[in-house]
Amino acid sequence: MVFSKNHYHYQSEATKFIEELKQKNPQLDASQQEGRALLWDKSPIDLDQLDRAKASRVKQQPYVYQNKVR
């Protein structure tokens, strides 16, 4: 599919808005990366601690609402 050269430099309104916003607020990219790190990036997993947590779990009864009958 061949596009005409008239549309080669086309920019949507959303793209223009984002570029204008970044020009007005140059630290926007850095603040977005900080926010992403805060919400999504996780610290490395300590495998020893994970193994200890798995080993210390108490097994749940098959039917949790029934009292144990002795």
pTM of the predicted model, to two decimals? 0.45
Q: Which two tokens stand for residue 19?
A: 């570029």
- Indicate whether 69 pLDDT > 70: no
- Indicate whether 4 pLDDT > 70: no
The arithmetic mean of pLDDT across residues 27-47, rounded, is: 89
Indicate the average pLDDT of the chain.
85
Contact 59, 52 (CB under 8 A): no
The model's pLDDT over 11-31, given as tens digits with 9 standing for 90+, comes to: 899 999 999 999 999 999 999
CA-to-CA dists, residue 18 to 11, 39, 65, angstroms:
11, 23, 55
